Structure 1
Amino acid sequence: MVQGGNIAIIGAELRTNTADHADATAILVRDGKIVLIGGDAEVRAAAEAEGIPSRDVAGATVTPGLFDSHTHPHWASEITRGIDLGGLETVEELRAAIAAEHARLPEGAWVRGWNLEYEPFEETGLLGSLLEDAAPGRPVALICYDLHTGLATAPALAAAGITGARDFDDASEIVVDASGAPTGELREPSAYQLVFDAAPASGPEEERELLRDMFRTLAATGLTGGAIMDGKDRTVELLGELEERGGLDHRVTVHHWHAVGDDDAAVARVIANKDRHGRLWQTGAIKLFSDGVIDTGTAWLHTVDACGDGRAAFWPDWSRYGEVVRAYHDAGMLIATHAVGDYAVSRVLEVYATLPPREGQPFHSIEHLEVLADEDVEALRGSGITASMQPLHMQWRAADNSDNWAVRLGEGRDATGYRVRSVLDAGVRVTLGSDWPVAQYDPRLGMAWARGRHTPGDPAAHVFEPEQQLTGEEALLAYTLWPAQARGHEDRGVIAVDAVADLTVWGADPVVASADELPEVPIRLTVVDGRVIFEG
C-alpha cells in the first residue's frame, strides 16, 4: 500500500487560505495529511516525539500546493522531445533548425518539432513543401504551439497514408490544394494525429519514465498537481504503474478526452471506468470540444472573423453534444468543455443550463473563454460554472494588434479577450492554468500574466486591458483553493488539519511580490502527499 510522507515544516509564514491559524508558523504532517498547525516549539516537540524530521524554512512563505487547472503532461512528455520551434519567425529559420536536427538524427528517425508559430507562413500558408529539402527523404512532423494544427512534409504524409482530403466526424481537415493534393497542413487532432500515430513511438518503459520525469520537472516550479485534459486509457495505466512503483510525484485528475465520433458504446465504457483511482490520481472527469482556435478560423464566434471564418461548431450535430453531456452528467462525472469563441461559450452555457441539479457535486467548467462579448459575461452570472482561463496566452499578442490572433478577430474585438476580471466580478469561480505544452507550465508566469497582463519583468511592455488585472491574492487562490472547490475537494487548496499535505514553499510571499518580481521568486520546497519532491 502506498504511504504518504511525514515531515514538519517550521519557521514559516503561512498563507492558509482560511481564517484560522493567523499566528501559526509551523505544520506537522503524518502519512501525507496535515495533523497539527501551530508555533515552532509546539510542532517541533510533536515531531521529535514521533521521530518525524523537521525542516526550518527560515521565514519562507508556505502556501497550499499549486494546481494547474488545464495541462497535458502525458502528451507533452512525448512531443517536447522534438525541436522547440518557439520564437522562429521565418521559414529560413525553421529550415535551419530542421536541417540541424536532420544531421543529428540516425537513419530512419523522424524529425519532430513543437511550438511552431503561424507567423512564418502568413504569406504562403502552411506548406510542408517549404521545409522538405531541409531534411531530404526524412519524414518531418511539426505541431503548432496551440496544439490545433500540424504540418507534415511529403514523406511524413506518405508514411501516414495521406493522399488527399478525408471526412472526419468533427471539424478536423486535411488541407489540400486546387488539384486535391495535401499541402501538409492538418487542422485539428483527428487530422494531424494520423501523421503522429505513424511516427515511431516510445516503448512502454520509456513512456513511463518520460511521464515521471515530466512531473518532477513541473514540481521544480512549485506545482503539486494538475488536471490532465487529454486523458486516455494509457494515461490511466501509466499513473497506476508509476504509483505502484513509487514514482508518482503529482496529484492529478484525469479528464477523459471524448472524441466527436465516440458512439454510445464508447460513452458507456468511459462511464463504467469513472471510479478508477489511486492515492494521488483519480478519473471521473471528461473533456470535450465545442470549437477550435482563433488563429485558424475554427473558433465559434458570434460574428465572422476578418477572414470570413468562425461560424462553424466542432460538432457537425450540436444536438449530439447535448446528449453526450447529459449522459456524463447523469453518471456523476465532471465535464470540461473547450470553448474559445464567444458564441461557443454561449452555446455550451445553453446546454449546461438544461442539466438537472446533482446534490453534493460540483458543477462543470468551460475551458479558455478566450473572447467574451458583454452578453456572454452576463450569461455566465449565476450559471454555477467554473471558468478555467489562461491569461498567460496573451504572450503572443502584439501591442499594435499586428499578431495573427488580433488580425483574425478584426478591429476592436481584441479588447474582448481574456476577460478574467469581468468573469470574476460576475460571481464566477475562476481557475488558472497553462495548457502546457501550449504555454509555459510555470505557475509563477501564469499568475504574473493574470496580474500584470504584460511581459513580466519588462517595464516598457504594453499592458493589455489593465482593467482586467487580478490581485496577487486572487491569482494565488486561482491556483490553489478555487481549483479544489471546483472539484468538490474540501481537503485541498488549504492549509488545515486533515487537509492533504500538498505544499509550495516560496522564497518570498507570492501575494506581496509584484507581478514583475513573481517569476523570479525561488521555490524552496515542493511537497506532495507529505513527501519533498523538489528542493531548491
Structure 2
Amino acid sequence: MKPDLVVCADTVHTLTGDDRPVEAIAITGGIVTAVGDRRDVRDWRGPGTDIVDLGDATVTPGLIDGHLHPVMGLQLTADVDLSSARSIDEVRQLLAAAAAGRAPDEWVQAWGLDPNVFGGQPVTGAPIETAVGGRPAFVRLFDAHSALATPAALRLAGVDGPRRFAQRSSVVCDDTGQPTGLLLEAAAMDLVTEHIPREPVAVRAARLRALLGDMAATGLTGGHVMDLLGDSAEVVAAAEGLGDLPLRLRFAPWCEPGIDADGLAGLIALQGRGGRRWEIGGVKFFIDGTIDNGTAWLEDPDTHGESTDSFWTDPADFTKAMHTLAAAGVPTATHAIGDAAVRHALDSLNELDGPTTAPHRIEHIETLPTELISRFRRQKVVASMQPTHSHFTRADHTDNWSSRLGAERANRGWRCRDLRDAGVPVVLGSDWPIAPFDPRRILAAAQLRRPAGEPDIPPVQPNQGLTPLMALEGYTSLAAAAAGRTGGITVGTRADLTAFTLDPLGTAPDELADAPIAMTIVDGTIVHRGTTPST
C-alpha cells in the first residue's frame, strides 16, 4: 500500500538510537511505514500520496505534555487572569476592573494569584472583598490547590465555619471561628464552586477544541491529562463530535480519600474507554497538597509549623487503594510534592502485584532527598516533573515556597538532572493551567533553570539543568513510554510528529523558546502548518 503522506526535512531526530541519517518519513493510515532519505520518496509515492518537504526544518517525534489539565482548566481559567500581578494593589485593580458594571449578585472569578503578593502576611479574602464591591467572588491561587472566597460567596455556599472532610482539606477560620476566605484543597473549594454557574457542555467543547488547536500550534501532539472530573468525558466527546481532536489525550481519573470497593471497581472499569484520539488510561492519586499552602507532606514541619500530614487522613488507605488498582493492571500517577509524600508513594509502589499497561509514576517531586533517587530507578518508577514550576521561586530563597522549606530543603528542588543521571526516566510537562503550556519554553527552562528570554533572572539550582537531548526525550520518547507506547520515529509507531524551524538539539535555549513550529502532525494528519514552504 502506498503512503498517504511523506514528510521530508533536512534533519530528523528519530530518537531510536539508530544513527543512520533520515530525511523522509512515509505514513500510511496514521502509522510510520518507512523511513529513509529523499531518494526513497520516488519509490514510495503513489497517485494519492501527499509529499511535504519542510526544507531545513527539524522533525522529531511528536511533543507530548506529560501533565496537564485541558478540560478542567477551562473552568480553572475562568474570568480574570492574575498571573502577572506582582502586588496586592495590582490584584485589586484587576478585580475591580472586572467587577465594574456587573450586577451586585454576579460572580467574579479569577485565577493565577501568586501568594507572594501578600508579602508574608496572612493570605485572606479581605483584599478581594473590597475590590469586587461585595459581590460573590472566587479567586484561585496559582497552584489551584487553594482559593479565596468573598463573604458573599461563602454565604451562598452556606459556609459559616470550619468543616470536616474525608480528605485533608480545610475552611481556614480565625480565632473566633469565622472563615477568613481561604479554602485549602479540593473538598473545601468545592463547597463554593458548586454554586458558580458553569458553561454548557457545547460551549466548553468548542473552547476545548480551540485550546487544543493553540497547543498544536506550539508543537504539541498529545498530553497526559491528570483528571477526568464531573462531565469532562462528555465535554471531550462533544469536542470530538465537531471533528478529530488536534491532540491525542490520555486521561487519568482521580482516586480520592474515602473511596470504597465499588468506587475502585468503577475506576478499573473505565480503563480503555474513550474515542478516536482520547482514552482513559491510569488513575491519579494525591498523597499531599502544596508547599506554598502548607498542605504538602514533609518529614519535618515547614517554618510555619505546617505541611505535616498526608492528604489521605490514613495513608494506609492510600496504599491499599493503589495496590488494588495495580493488581488489576491499572497504572497509577501520584501527586507527591513533599519529601515524606514521595517516600510514602515509593513505599506504596514497592513490590506491587500484577503487570500494568504503563509504568507507575510520581508527579511533581518538588523537594527530594538524595537517598530516594536510587529507589526511582530500582523500582522503575517514572518521575513526572514541570521545570517551569521553579519559576514561582527565587534563587535567593526569598519567595514563599523557599522560605517555608528553609534553605536545605529548597536546595533539593526539582532535581531533574540528578534523576536523569541516575537512569530515571524524567517526563516533562506544564501542569497547564498552573503554568503556560508552550513546550518550547519548557524545553528551554529545563536546560536554563530560569525563564527563557530573561537572562537577568538568576537560575534556580542551575546544576539541575538538563542537556538538550534529555529535555527533548522528556517531551517525546520518554513521555510516550510513560503511556506504555514505543517512542521515536520508526516503522510501526504512531505518526505523531513535530517539525521545528530550528534544531532543538543545536539551538540556544533562549532562541528555541521563540522559534516557530513548521508543522504538527497527529495520526498522520497535519493539524498545524506554519510558514515553511511545502510542495
Confirm or deny a common fold (TM above 0.5).
Answer: yes
Question: Over residues 329-379 of structure 1, what are the superposed CA-to-partner deviations in whole Å (9 max), with x where a residue is unaligned?
Answer: 111111000000111111111111041252x74330000111011222233
More deviation in 507-516 or 238-247?
238-247
- Conserved in 1, the CA contact under 8 Å of 2:59 and 2:498? yes
Say whether the 8 Å CA contact 1:21–1:38 is kept in structure 2: no
Would you say 1:116 and 2:110 are equivalent positions?
no
Comparing 221-230 with 75-84, greater Cα deviation is found at 75-84
Q: Alignment RMSD, CA only? A: 1.8
**1:495-514 equivalences in 2 (<5 Å):** 495-514=489-508
Q: Does 1:409 align with 2:400?
A: no
Counterpart selection for 2:386 from 380, 384, 390: 390
- Write the mapping of 1:363-378 to structure 2, written as runs, cut at 5 A: 363-378=359-374
1:531 correspondence with 2:525? yes
In structure 2, what is the Cα distance between the partners aligned to 1:466 and 1:108? Answer: 49
Question: Is residue 382–residue 427 contact of structure 1 (8 Å, CA) maintained in 2?
Answer: no
| Deviation by residue 1:234-293 (Cα, 9 ceiling, x = unmatched) | 222333333343241211110011121322221111212222132311113100001111
Could you tell me which residue of structure 1 aligns to residue 206 of structure 2?
A: 209
User: 1:151-199 CA distances to partner (integer Å, 9 max, x unpaired)?
Assistant: 1111111122211111011111100111111111000111112212211
1:291 alignment partner, one of 288, 293, 315: 288
Q: CA deviation at 1:110?
A: 1.4
Q: Aligned partner of 2:193: which letter?
A: F
484, 488, 495: which one aligns with 1:488: 484
Residues 175-324 of structure 1: pairs in structure 2 closer than 5 A: 175-232=172-229, 234-324=231-321
SS of 2:240's partner is helix
The one-letter code sitting in structure 1 at the alignment partner of 2:364 is H
Q: Distance in 1 between matches of 2:523 and 2:228?
A: 22
What SS class does the counterpart of residue 212 from structure 2 fall into? helix
Show the counterpart of 2:533. none
In the alignment, is the contact (CA less than 8 A) between 1:37 and 1:43 conserved in 2? no
Choose which of 441, 459, 463 in structure 2 pairs with 1:463.
459
Alignment partners' CA distance in 2, 1:187 and 1:431: 28
Which residue, out of 31, 34, 58, partners 2:32? 34
* Superposed CA offset, 1:405-435 (max 9, x none): 1100013322110111111122211101111
* Structure 1 residue 318: Cα displacement: 1.0
Maintained 8 Å contact 2:304/2:404: yes
Residue 325 (structure 1) aligned to one of 312, 322, 327? 322
Q: Distance in 2 between matches of 1:309 and 1:381?
A: 30
Mapped partners of 1:6, 1:134: distance in 2: 57
Unaligned runs of 5+ in 1: none
The alignment partner of 1:278 has SS state of: coil
Match of 1:161 in 2: 158
Query: 1:333–1:522: structure 2 CA closer, same or farther, 3 Å change rule?
Result: same
Q: How far apart, CA to CA, are the structure 1 residues paired with 2:426 and 2:526? A: 29
User: Would the aligned equivalents of 2:331 and 2:358 in 1 still touch at CA under 8 Å?
Assistant: yes
Q: 1:454 deviation in Å?
A: 1.9
C-alpha displacement of 1:89 = 2.2
Aligned length: 528
Are the structure 2 counterparts of residues 102 and 233 from structure 1 closer, same or farther at C-alpha, using a change threshold of 3 Å?
closer
Tell me, yes or no, if structure 1 residue 68 matches structure 2 residue 65: yes
Q: Which residue of 2 aligns with 1:98?
A: 95
Amino acid at match of 1:500: R
Distance 1:35 1:311 in 2: 53
| Contact residue 212 and residue 247 of structure 1 kept, 8 A | no
Work out the CA distance in 1 between the residues paired with 2:390 and 2:329: 34
Q: Please tell me whether the aligned partners of residues 201 and 238 of structure 2 are also in contact (alpha carbons under 8 angstroms).
A: no
1:8 correspondence with 2:2: no
| Residue number in structure 1 paired with 2:432 | 436
Distance in 1 (alpha carbons) for counterparts of 2:352 and 2:13: 37
Secondary structure of the corresponding residue to residue 313 of structure 1: coil
- Distance, in Å, in 2 between the alignment partners of 1:50 and 1:334 is 44
Q: Secondary structure at the match of 2:378?
A: coil
Please state how far the C-alpha of 1:484 moved relative to its aligned partner: 1.3
Whole-angstrom distance in 1 between the partners of 2:272 and 2:433 = 28
| CA drift at 1:44 | 5.1
- Give, in whole Å, the separation in 1 of the partners of 2:195 and 2:143: 21
Structure 1 partner of 2:446: 450
| Aligned equivalents of 2:13, 2:284: Cα separation in 1 | 32
Which stretch shifts more, 309-318 or 8-17? 8-17
Go from structure 1 to structure 2 and tell me whether the alpha carbon gap of 1:161 and 1:375 turns closer, same or farther (over 3 Å shift). same
Q: Does 2:396 match 1:400? A: yes
Q: CA deviation at 1:455?
A: 2.5
C-alpha separation in 2, matches of 1:282 and 1:374: 36
Percent identity over the alignment?
38
**Which stretch of the first structure deviates more once superposed, 271-280 or 330-339?**
271-280
Moved more, 413-422 or 349-358: 349-358
- 1:440 is matched by which residue type in structure 2? P
Structure 1 residue 123 displacement after superposition: 4.5
In structure 2, which of residues 81, 86, 90 is the aligned counterpart of residue 89 of structure 1?
86
Aligned-partner Cα distance in 2 for 1:370–1:211: 29
Counterpart check, 1:427 vs 2:434: no
Mapped partners of 1:50, 1:366: distance in 2: 48
- Specify the code of the residue in structure 2 equivalent to 1:36: A
In 2, Cα distance between equivalents of 1:8 and 1:107: 59
- Give, in whole Å, the separation in 1 of the partners of 2:275 and 2:391: 36
Give structure 2 stretches of 5+ with no counterpart: 531-535
Work out whether residues 62 and 222 of structure 2, in 8 Å CA contact, stay in contact via their aligned partners in 1: yes
The residue type paired with residue 402 of structure 1 is: T
**Distance across 2 between alignment mates of 1:179 and 1:535:** 60
Contact 2:147 2:189 in 1 (8 A): yes
Q: Which amino acid aligns with 2:280?
A: T
Give the TM-score normalised by the residue count of structure 2: 0.95
Equivalent residue runs for 1:348-367 within 5 Å: 348-358=345-355, 361-367=357-363
After superposition, the Cα gap between the structure-2 partners of 1:526 and 1:290, relative to the gap in structure 1 and judged at 3 Å, is same
